[in-house]
Structure 1
Amino acid sequence: MSEPKAASPTTGDTYKGWLFKWTNYIKGYQRRWFVLSNGLLSYYRTQAEMGHTCRGTINLATANISVEDSCNFIISNGGAQTYHLKASSEVERQRWITALELAKAKAVKMQAESDESGDEEPSSAQGDKTELQATLRTLSSKVEDLSTCNDLIGKHGSALQRSLSELESLKLPPESSEKIKQVNERATLFRITSNAMINACRDFLSLAQTHSKKWQKALQYERDQRIRLEETLEQLAKQHNNLERAFRGATVLPASSPGSAGSSKGSGSHGKGDMSDEDEENEFFDAMEDAPEFITVPADPKYHKRTGSNISGISSELALEDHLMEEQPVAANHELSTREIVPRKKRRNRIPDKPNYSLNLWSIMKNCIGKELSKIPMPVNFNEPISMLQRLTEDLEYYELLDRAAKCENSLEQLCYVAAFTVSSYSTTVYRTGKPFNPLLGETFELDRMDDCGYRSICEQVSHHPPAAAHHAESKRGWTLRQEIAIASKFRGKYLSIMPLGSIHCIFANSNNHYTWKKVTTTVHNIIVGKLWIDQSGEIDIVNHKTGDKCHLKFAPYSYFSRDVARKVTGVVTDPSGKAHFILSGTWDEKMEFSRIMQSTRGENGTEGKQKTVYQTLRAKELWKRHPLPDNTENMYYFSELALTLNESEDGVAPTDSRLRPDQRLMENGRWDEANTEKQRLEEKQRTARRKRESEAIKATEDAEPVESWAESPVKSTHVDSYKALWFERREDPVTRELTHIYKGGYWEAKEKKDWSGCPDIF
């Protein structure tokens, strides 16, 4: 695409074009798109941002414009904002200076007029009155100009007549006298014509003054009629809205009811303040208002395939867009109304406040650098009163996304919701700097929300070294989630890296679509000095093993020098051929949006030589938004609404359930010294049980093999542990071919029978 001209006037008083703006000493001058309109000078990083993200605005009515040299100039509004700008040439700079000066003069005049007119009338009526007053003032000024011209004509005409009379009195040759007489006659004719013009102007002025009041009354009447009509329409809209709500309250609408789609948000502001300087590899191009937007990402042959133009078949795409953007919110409303019919169990909404205990962190951590977190004997002072099994169950905080995905008939749409669910699982970690309790071997945690939310979940700690937990969740709305997560972690002094290992599986019963993905790395910063904060970074590939569809998500690591939004997540959804269909964007702590791709083209090379793909998309729609945290959450370990209920006592759970763990319960109640003592007791009990299993396994092996073979390999006896999980069994996953623990059933049946005879004594 060709680059637009540096600056160009448009309709009205708008003036826009490229200028170079000083950013900082590192970046220097950066090219920005400036727009001068209605007395305001605004700038954007690209032309495409004009629809959603303004980087800064200066009101010219209060601004000072100064010229530095042939190409540079400065605009300042008294110190709060100062733009150091540079044009591409001296001619271009002069065009901008002229446009800015004219706009400033007009803005000052308009501001003075608005100060005189007051603000009692509505904005629309005030606008009409201002326009009328401006027209009348223009007419008055023109009449004043005519009067001035009248005076000047009379003055100069009289002077001319006197000069001619003086010439006639002089003794001149006959030829000259004849010429002077001729000139005198022409001057007389000019005076007569001028007087006639002046009289006609006076008649016009008199007529205009006579009818101006009639015109003002007519305009005022039309304005009053318009305001009355707008008020009537507003009342009708309110009555229509009340009737709709009354109808919905009386009946339950089907999910596919037309005309009741939820309102959608526009692309919104993706930047904050003067974040003028986002990824330099991204290039945007102008799009007309209400036209598709342009989104650009670096081209990666692994995930992106250039498709040229895919305008063919747009009608079916748009029909699909209507289904995705409009029917889904209605379906969600239908779910909500259905859930409200089911009486919810009253659950707790707070836990005891966190005590303020001081602890010398360095005395504990200085000898642990380079060791794995699971092998460090940590006091409960660094924990939060929740186990790793309960923390794993928090992935279901936004289970509604999977409910919506289960209703999608198109696999690419479904993949968008699965991707949003993947990102949403990290939103609960943004302020959670406490470490969960390491589960004991054989510890379980159940979450039965089948009655009110339609799902239930069971977790079990299936391995201690390395620590690994297996999780299985099922929903009556047609989806199953299972995972085995092992935690690898390293303490590096300034930060702690937590690397979850293992795959997550999501299966939908209706379509038999089977998705898998892995988790990204979590980093806890400022372990020794400063305020703790958490970041998520890495890349995730969500794969549909049935269709071959993929979603590539990128979690951008935080950087002080980055111009991107903090905690940014981007993604592209592609089909098996590599053709991109959706763009995902947002942050892992707030929300995710998605945009349907209408066309993609190969762009220019970026700053690092990477080729870019330019995607033309429809407007972004919201997929997921984080729930607000409960009141007083900063004193309750920043738990979410779901997390506050996880450790709540519940009848009928297995004796190995995390809710029954004594050290965790003591810590939640604020009795941390007793909790530390109890924690040591439980860990020693676990070590004793492990040594007993190892000795029994060694004895069984010695009975089965000759003693001489052990003499040849005595090390063989040091790593024998015959422990097997109770509710999960380790076998090869049929899809990923990985050895993993898969739920074998029996837990909910045992709970119904109240038969926990197979559970180990771990507490």
Structure 2
Amino acid sequence: MREGPSDRNEGEMAHTCRGTIDLSTAHFDREDYCGIMLTSGAKTYHLKAGSEVERQQWIIALELAKAHAVHMLQNHSDDSGDDDDDDETTSPTDKSELQSTIKNLSLKLDDLSTCNDLLAKHGAALTRSLNELDGLRIPYDSSEKLKAVNERATLFRITTNAMINACRDFLALAEAHSRKWQRALQYEQEQRIHLEETIEQLAKQHNSLERAFRNSLSGRAPDPSRSFSHGSVLSKGEDSEEDEDTEYFDAMEDSTAFITVISEAKEDRKTECGTTGPADWTPADDVLDGASLTPKGPPRVKRRARIPDKPNYSLNLWSIMKNCIGRELSKIPMPVNFNEPLSMLQRLTEDLEYHYLLDKAALCTCSVEQMCLVAAFSVSSYSTTVHRIAKPFNPMLGETFELDRLEDMGLRSLCEQVSHHPPSAAHHVFSKNGWSLWQEITISSKFRGKYLSIMPLGAIHLEFQASGNHYVWRKSTSTVHNIIVGKLWIDQSGDIEIVNYKTKDRCQLKFLPYSYFSKEVARKVTGVVSDGQGKAHYVLSGSWDEQMEYAKVTHSSPSSPRTDGKHKTVYQTLPAKPLWRKYPLPENAENMYYFSELALTLNEHEEGVAPTDSRLRPDQRLMEKGQWDEANTEKQRLEEKQRLSRRRRAEACARGCSMEDEKETEAHTPLWFERRLDPLTGETACMYKGGYWEAKEKQDWHMCPNIF
């Protein structure tokens, strides 16, 4: 970090080294426990102290250094000389404003001079009056008091003269330094304009290079080295897309909480589920040894395999986002240029792309084996996001989306937008293969200047009818980086705990955030599956964008203590086997928003759906067709219609509701879901109350609101 401009000359500042921050404009925030977040412009550094006391010492030191840097910056500005051509660099508007200010100051000084003359005149008259009183014969005590009054009048006149002289000196000093101040202001304005132009130019260059790179790769076969393998490292300049504005994290000392040692398999080894030999893993082996690559049966309904190519629309992202820092993303009026032609309800349904994992899990008789497949399913939902950096449409209040795929996928899915602020969606899935899934997800997202933080809130429930095993977990945090400069890329971070509330089995999954200093594979995920007694049975590893593997634990023991006294658990495992692998993307996916095979079918027109279905949303349909200008017009119309509907509900409530139930009536009531208390999590969530599929069968949609 650098303290001020005196540490470097202008030539060095143009080619500064990586990781410098001007402390004079820096901002410090305290994070959880011992963390410090240091922000300056578009750069953000996350620092970690050894203790809270040490963190406070660092905060004080940084604040003192910032004050010193500001002082040096002021001195540097004062020491710079006045050039003869200063007036030439000042715009006419700034010159006239400066001259007007000096003229006003001169007028105020003239007023002060007039006041001084009047004070001198009246002061002289007062002095004469006092002298005349002094010539009179008055008692001694009165004479002393008169003398004191005379002295005070003299002091008052001297003070007034000193004030006028100080004002005159201040005006002269302001005139002497006005050009210097104006030059500093002009320099800052020019730097701001230059920075915005540079950012826009860099963004255009990145887009051009990206298109050229894709064109150069057209016709090539996929690179097998991009698939996940142990020990592979993300190479700089390829997938990392690293630039100076990449957000760096401290090297993670405890990036993994365990160490895995592979041992040879023994045929007579007993398993945790009570059987011996390889037969104990037979149901799961059917999945892991290639079921993920097994071609699916041909559906009765032919689905589309492509959508219109994405138009090449250019838009200055910074011009829209620079005034939205720190605001809730759902409340920012965003054009469709930053969207993809799918709603958030459809994105939520897309999590079911690897539903076969749950179909196979329903066949498992061992709960810890079943947990492995459930964990793989929870990770697989993120694989569709690796290239999907565009924002889905925020659904209208009351909007729904159904996925009726009993014939080919064996399931039915229904989503409904149950709240608009904050945006919240309820989801229910029924599978004829013996499982049900439901969730209510509230999206909390913040724009932080250089990245977006997307935090899904809410629990996901999964229940298998045959065994009664009930699994609950929550989603991790997603972060979109390089919002301003560079290629956008998304990362997942945080821990996911999956709990089987019937058997108390647990799976701890850890999503490792990308770090420039880390030697770990990018997008890495690790996990341990344990039973209700805390005994580890399986170790999971892989990446959330490619594949997951499982390895059976044969023995566990603590490692040797490190210098800090901490231990890691050492797991001896059998050789790892594949658990899940991502489907390849369709041909020409880069021009179709990187949609997967399932995503391409989600917005396909379908007869018989509810009038509130996302497929019928006009702005989303126009965007898919490539008519973005018309889509933006429709989007504004729909949003205004939704605001008008909300105002009407509030007015109707104000007229017909009592004070007690006004708040409750003002809230939106979902059509197909109802709020219930979840006995497992203790939270209130929207759960499916039934009726949708029956209404579809009868084609009776009279209860649906007109939202489009």
TM-score, length basis structure 1: 0.58
Counterparts in 2 of 1:512 and 1:273: CA distance versus 1, 3 Å? closer
Q: Does 1:737 align with 2:682?
A: yes
Q: How big is each residue's C-alpha offset from its partner over 1:649-676, in whole Å with a ceiling of 9 and x where there is no partner? A: 0000000000000000000001101100
Deviation at 1:563, TM superposition (A): 0.3
Q: How big is each residue's C-alpha offset from its partner over 1:352-386, in whole Å with a ceiling of 9 and x where there is no partner? A: 00001111111110110000001100000000000
Counterparts in 2 of 1:312 and 1:391: CA distance versus 1, 3 Å? closer
Contact in 2 for aligned 1:486/1:500 (Cα 8 Å): yes
Contact in 1 for aligned 2:541/2:550 (Cα 8 Å): yes
Residue in 1 aligned with 2:280?
A: 323
Counterparts in 2 of 1:331 and 1:272: CA distance versus 1, 3 Å? closer
Identity %: 65
Residue in 2 aligned with 1:174?
A: none
Contact in 2 for aligned 1:348/1:648 (Cα 8 Å): yes
Contact in 2 for aligned 1:328/1:404 (Cα 8 Å): no
Contact in 2 for aligned 1:385/1:665 (Cα 8 Å): yes
Counterparts in 2 of 1:676 and 1:321: CA distance versus 1, 3 Å? same
Counterparts in 2 of 1:559 and 1:751: CA distance versus 1, 3 Å? same
Q: Does 1:450 align with 2:395?
A: no
Counterparts in 2 of 1:334 and 1:344: CA distance versus 1, 3 Å? farther
Give the unaligned 5+ runs of structure 2.
1-226, 236-250
Contact in 2 for aligned 1:602/1:614 (Cα 8 Å): yes
Q: Does 1:483 align with 2:439?
A: yes
Contact in 1 for aligned 2:415/2:426 (Cα 8 Å): yes
Q: Does 1:725 align with 2:670?
A: yes
Residue in 1 aligned with 2:40?
A: none
Counterparts in 2 of 1:653 and 1:732: CA distance versus 1, 3 Å? same
Q: Distance in 1 between matches of 2:667 and 2:260?
A: 64
* Residue aligned with 1:390, SS: helix
Residue in 2 aligned with 1:751?
A: 696
Give the unaligned 5+ runs of structure 1.
1-266, 293-310, 706-715
Q: Distance in 2 between matches of 1:420 and 1:329?
A: 15
Deviation at 1:454, TM superposition (A): 0.5
Residue in 1 aligned with 2:423?
A: 467
Q: Does 1:271 align with 2:231?
A: yes
Contact in 1 for aligned 2:260/2:571 (Cα 8 Å): no
Q: Distance in 2 between matches of 1:490 and 1:522?
A: 11
Radius of gyration: which is bigger?
1
Q: Distance in 2 between matches of 1:366 and 1:567?
A: 29
Contact in 2 for aligned 1:279/1:563 (Cα 8 Å): no
Deviation at 1:322, TM superposition (A): 3.3
Q: Distance in 2 between matches of 1:314 and 1:414?
A: 14
Contact in 2 for aligned 1:698/1:720 (Cα 8 Å): no
Q: How big is each residue's C-alpha offset from its partner over 1:194-249, in whole Å with a ceiling of 9 and x where there is no partner? A: xxxxxxxxxxxxxxxxxxxxxxxxxxxxxxxxxxxxxxxxxxxxxxxxxxxxxxxx
Q: Distance in 2 between matches of 1:697 and 1:368?
A: 32
Report the AA paired with residue 498 of structure 2. Answer: I
Residue in 2 aligned with 1:437?
A: 393
Q: Does 1:585 align with 2:545?
A: no
Counterparts in 2 of 1:692 and 1:648: CA distance versus 1, 3 Å? same
Q: Distance in 1 between matches of 2:228 and 2:319?
A: 48
Contact in 1 for aligned 2:345/2:401 (Cα 8 Å): yes
Contact in 2 for aligned 1:384/1:637 (Cα 8 Å): yes
Counterparts in 2 of 1:438 and 1:405: CA distance versus 1, 3 Å? same
Residue in 1 aligned with 2:641?
A: 685
Residue in 2 aligned with 1:427?
A: 383
Contact in 2 for aligned 1:663/1:678 (Cα 8 Å): yes
Residue in 1 aligned with 2:464?
A: 508
Counterparts in 2 of 1:527 and 1:339: CA distance versus 1, 3 Å? closer
Q: Does 1:644 align with 2:600?
A: yes
Contact in 2 for aligned 1:344/1:452 (Cα 8 Å): yes
Matches within 5 A, 1:254-403: 269-272=229-232, 290-291=264-265, 313=270, 319=276, 321-324=278-281, 328-329=285-286, 340=297, 343-403=299-359
Contact in 1 for aligned 2:672/2:692 (Cα 8 Å): yes
Residue in 2 aligned with 1:761?
A: 706
Residue in 2 aligned with 1:213?
A: none
Report the AA paired with residue 383 of structure 1. Answer: N
Q: 2:369 aligns with which of 413, 418, 425?
A: 413
TM-score, length basis structure 2: 0.62
Q: Does 1:628 align with 2:589?
A: no
Corresponding pairs, count: 465
Counterparts in 2 of 1:760 and 1:441: CA distance versus 1, 3 Å? same
Report the AA paired with residue 323 of structure 1. Answer: D
Deviation at 1:429, TM superposition (A): 0.1
Contact in 1 for aligned 2:492/2:511 (Cα 8 Å): yes
Counterparts in 2 of 1:595 and 1:726: CA distance versus 1, 3 Å? same
Deviation at 1:268, TM superposition (A): 9.3
Contact in 2 for aligned 1:325/1:621 (Cα 8 Å): no
Contact in 2 for aligned 1:281/1:607 (Cα 8 Å): no
Counterparts in 2 of 1:678 and 1:368: CA distance versus 1, 3 Å? same
Q: How big is each residue's C-alpha offset from its partner over 1:409-460, in whole Å with a ceiling of 9 and x where there is no partner? A: 0111001000000000000000001000000000000001101111110000
Q: 1:595 aligns with which of 523, 548, 551?
A: 551
Report the AA paired with residue 465 of structure 1. Answer: H
Q: Distance in 1 between matches of 2:521 and 2:411?
A: 35
Q: Distance in 1 between matches of 2:289 and 2:500?
A: 24
Q: How big is each residue's C-alpha offset from its partner over 1:510-558, in whole Å with a ceiling of 9 and x where there is no partner? A: 0010000000000000001111000000000000011111000000000
Q: Distance in 2 between matches of 1:507 and 1:482?
A: 9
* Residue aligned with 1:692, SS: helix
* Residue aligned with 1:604, SS: coil
Report the AA paired with residue 281 of structure 2. Answer: L
Q: 2:504 aligns with which of 548, 564, 576?
A: 548
Deviation at 1:323, TM superposition (A): 3.3
Report the AA paired with residue 680 of structure 2. Answer: V
Counterparts in 2 of 1:652 and 1:559: CA distance versus 1, 3 Å? same
Counterparts in 2 of 1:475 and 1:672: CA distance versus 1, 3 Å? same
Counterparts in 2 of 1:397 and 1:315: CA distance versus 1, 3 Å? closer
Counterparts in 2 of 1:338 and 1:746: CA distance versus 1, 3 Å? farther
Report the AA paired with residue 271 of structure 1. Answer: G
Residue in 1 aligned with 2:452?
A: 496
Q: Superposition RMSD on alpha carbons, in Å?
A: 2.8
Deviation at 1:719, TM superposition (A): 9.2
* Residue aligned with 2:362, SS: helix
Deviation at 1:609, TM superposition (A): 3.5
Q: Does 1:694 align with 2:641?
A: no
